[in-house]
Amino acid sequence: MKIICIGRNYTKHIEELNSEKPTEPVIFLKPDSAILAKNQPFFIPPFSNDIHYEVEILVKINKVGKYIEEKFAHKYYDEIGLGIDFTARDLQNALKDKGLPWEKCKAFDGSAVIGEFYPKEKLGNLLDLSFTLQKNEEIVQNGNSKFMLWKIDELIAYVSQFFTLKKGDIIFTGTPEGVGKVKENDVLIGTVGALKAFEVKIK
């Protein structure tokens, strides 16, 4: 399976990082080695002093598709989840300044938290889906899919132009504003709709 990530999909997050608003979705990939094992803590890697959490709605692809039309995109997923795209912000800023790829800061081991998936029917309107990230019992990110620049079906149609989507692939759909640094002993809890999706301890 592959992990396809979308960057800069919420205007306020773009603004908080002083990034340029894109005219089409920004795509990057994470390898399967980036997946943080279930119920395992996240260990801050030695190569970064500024690891940030980025909570995101996840889409799990359920069948093979290529050049998928937006009107048919809903047939390619049954489940929605929540996860974290951990980012080495110090490395990212250095790479961006040089115009270099992001993989070192985005695709390192353990950088992808993949929480529980739920049937999309259980979550209601996917165009108005709320989600949160708590850090130490305080809400630090409070997002809603209605603020996505590109919605889930649009992203599937767009991504499938470049990559054949296969069963089990996961799309990270972008993070809202409120990203921030993690430190040792933090506890992160994610909810999608009213359902708990994950809990991660930072070591």
Mean pLDDT for 97-121 is 97
Q: What is the Cα–Cα distance from 170 to 159, expressed in whole angstroms?
A: 12
**52-68 pLDDT, tens digit each:** 999 999 999 999 999 99
- Binned at pLDDT 50, 70 and 90, residue 50 comes out as very high
Residue 83 phi, psi (nearest 5)? -155, 180
**17-40 pLDDT, tens digit each:** 888 899 999 999 999 999 999 999
pLDDT at 57: 98
Residue 175 phi, psi (nearest 5)? -115, 145
Tokens of 176: 């809202």
Q: What is the Cα–Cα distance from 151 to 153, expressed in whole angstroms?
A: 6
pTM score, two decimals?
Answer: 0.97
pLDDT at 148: 97
Q: What is the Cα–Cα distance from 56 to 6, expressed in whole angstroms?
A: 10
**134-177 pLDDT, tens digit each:** 999 999 999 999 999 999 999 999 999 999 999 999 999 999 99
Instruction: Find out whether 14 and 21 touch, Cβ atoms under 8 Å.
Output: yes
Mean pLDDT for 94-105 is 94
Which residue from 103, 80, 55, 95 is spatially nearest to 155, judged by alpha carbons? 80
- Binned at pLDDT 50, 70 and 90, residue 49 comes out as very high
Q: What is the Cα–Cα distance from 15 to 178, expressed in whole angstroms?
A: 11
Residue labelled with tokens 């093979």: 64
Residue 14 reports pLDDT greater than 90: no
Specify the length of the chain in residues.
203
Task: State the average pLDDT for the chain.
Answer: 97
Tokens of 66: 């290529």
Tokens of 117: 């998936």
pLDDT at 18: 85
pLDDT at 177: 97
pLDDT above 70 covers what percent of the chain? 100
**Is the dihedral angle over the CA atoms 87, 91, 96, 99 positive or is it negative?**
negative
Task: For residue 29, give every residue at least 6 positions away whose Cβ sits within 8 Å of its Cβ, in sequence order, or none.
Answer: 2, 3, 4, 5, 103, 107
Instruction: Find out whether 133 and 139 touch, Cβ atoms under 8 Å.
Output: yes
